């Protein structure tokens, strides 16, 4: 497994008083399914996992996660963990377009690339943060390598393979919509797209004018050909780690579980997601002294360190309720806490 590239860059983000920028290194390594690029921020902390992120279709690690990890309150978290941001093959900035006929990896194969990354970095465990297709990839990886995953934050995950009705709708949409509009419809709700906010305009411009749009379509096709993760209530296929399940209330493929958020909560509500992430980490035994200044019982607490995936529905238990929506596909029970200060 050879390193192909390493460049030194500096992360641009608003810093809190007294903070200094974290250096970042971008690496590319060969895997059985091709080269994969990832960027590392910070240095490993003793007895702490790395935070490893995986982005959704149409995005790369910067366009998917920068608003979240640049958020002021997030700086407390990133000072305590090393971060690894994975770009799906061909999604990294400056990526060349794959040649005609290139066989893009399946989502299962993308998950099988992650051990090569961890081996290269000599990291033993991670907390995964994934959005959409990236959430699926990290879930598949956690099923295959449960001993290396301490926790998962899954945003807008769809654990099910496409059914015949989904395929028919997808084909019909493809007859009347451009590639970029179909991908935007995956990322955002029709209400958001019709509103054409500044955020929507920004991401429409990013995707429509992406020089690697052909590569993006290959990732999109792999997502649409995903296998069912086969999560079942009380079944044999389970995640063995705590899970925080997040879905925006305008996500195009799930019901609301996060108040006031759009289809991409890491973009539209980074503050609420940061607070919930801190809560989740505390439930895992990290950052015990962190103060939750924004987390409220009734609104931002629509997240939990114990989430359920039940059939075609994926929703979390709120902190202000104890109603059940299935069982968590994980082994030990997760922590549920109400935090205020």
User: What pLDDT score does 101 carry?
Assistant: 92
- What are the two backbone dihedrals, phi and then psi, of residue 3, each rounded to the nearest 5 degrees? -80, 130
CB-neighbour burial class of residue 188 (10 A; exposed 0-12, middle 13-18, buried 19+): buried
User: What pLDDT score does 39 carry?
Assistant: 97
User: What pLDDT score does 165 carry?
Assistant: 61
User: What pLDDT score does 13 carry?
Assistant: 41
**Model confidence pLDDT, tens digit, residues 109-130:** 999 999 999 999 999 999 999 9
User: What pLDDT score does 68 carry?
Assistant: 95
Rg (CA), the chain: 19
Spell out a b/e string for 232-265, using b for 16 or more CB atoms within 10 Å of the CB, else e: eeeeeebbebbbbbbbbbbbbbbeebbbebbbbb
User: What pLDDT score does 263 carry?
Assistant: 82
Residues of the chain with pLDDT under 70: 1-22, 163-177, 232-235, 248-262, 290-341
Distance (Å, whole) CA 5 – CA 303: 38
User: What pLDDT score does 103 carry?
Assistant: 96
Provide the residue ranges of all domains of the chain, joining segments of one domain with +. Answer: 25-284
User: What pLDDT score does 289 carry?
Assistant: 72
User: What pLDDT score does 234 carry?
Assistant: 63
CB-neighbour burial class of residue 279 (10 A; exposed 0-12, middle 13-18, buried 19+): buried
pTM to 2 decimals?
Answer: 0.79
User: What pLDDT score does 78 carry?
Assistant: 92
User: What pLDDT score does 292 carry?
Assistant: 55
**CATH 3.40.50.1000 assigned to 25-284:** no
User: What pLDDT score does 161 carry?
Assistant: 84
Q: Which two tokens stand for residue 120?
A: 């290269």
**Model confidence pLDDT, tens digit, residues 174-213:** 555 689 999 999 999 889 999 989 999 999 999 999 999 9
């Amino acid at each position: 497994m050879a390193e192909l590239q390493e460049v030194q860059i500096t992360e641009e983000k608003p810093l809190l008083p007294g903070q200094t920028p974290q250096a970042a290194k971008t690496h590319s390594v060969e895997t059985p399914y091709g080269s994969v690029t990832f960027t590392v921020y910070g240095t490993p902390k003793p007895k702490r996992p790395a935070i490893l992120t995986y982005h959704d279709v149409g995005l790369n690690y910067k366009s998917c996660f920068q608003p979240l990890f640049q958020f002021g309150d997030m700086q407390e978290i990133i000072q305590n963990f090393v971060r690894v941001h994975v770009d799906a093959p061909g999604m990294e900035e400056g990526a060349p377009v794959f040649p005609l006929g290139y066989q893009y990896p399946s989502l299962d194969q993308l998950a099988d690339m992650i051990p090569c990354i961890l081996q290269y970095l000599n990291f033993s465990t991670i907390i995964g943060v994934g959005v959409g297709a990236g959430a699926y990839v990290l879930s598949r990886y956690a099923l295959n390598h449960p001993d290396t995953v301490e926790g998962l934050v899954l945003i807008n995950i769809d654990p099910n393979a496409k059914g015949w009705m989904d395929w028919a709708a997808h084909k019909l949409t493809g007859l009347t919509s451009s590639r970029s509009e179909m991908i935007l419809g995956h990322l955002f709700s029709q209400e958001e797209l019709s509103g054409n906010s500044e955020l929507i305009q920004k991401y429409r411009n990013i995707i429509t004018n992406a020089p690697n749009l052909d590569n993006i379509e290959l990732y999109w096709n792999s997502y649409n050909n995903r296998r069912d993760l086969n999560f079942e209530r009380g079944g044999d296929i389970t995640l063995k780690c705590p899970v925080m399940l997040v879905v925006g209330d305008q996500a195009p493929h799930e019901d609301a579980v996060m108040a006031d958020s759009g289809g991409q909560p890491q973009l539209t509500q980074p503050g609420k997601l940061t607070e919930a992430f801190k809560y989740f980490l505390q439930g895992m035994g990290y950052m015990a002294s962190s103060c939750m200044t924004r987390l409220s019982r009734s609104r931002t607490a629509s997240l939990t360190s114990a989430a359920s995936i039940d059939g075609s529905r994926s929703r979390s238990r709120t902190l202000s309720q104890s109603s059940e929506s299935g069982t968590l596909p994980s082994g030990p029970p997760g922590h549920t806490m109400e935090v205020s200060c």
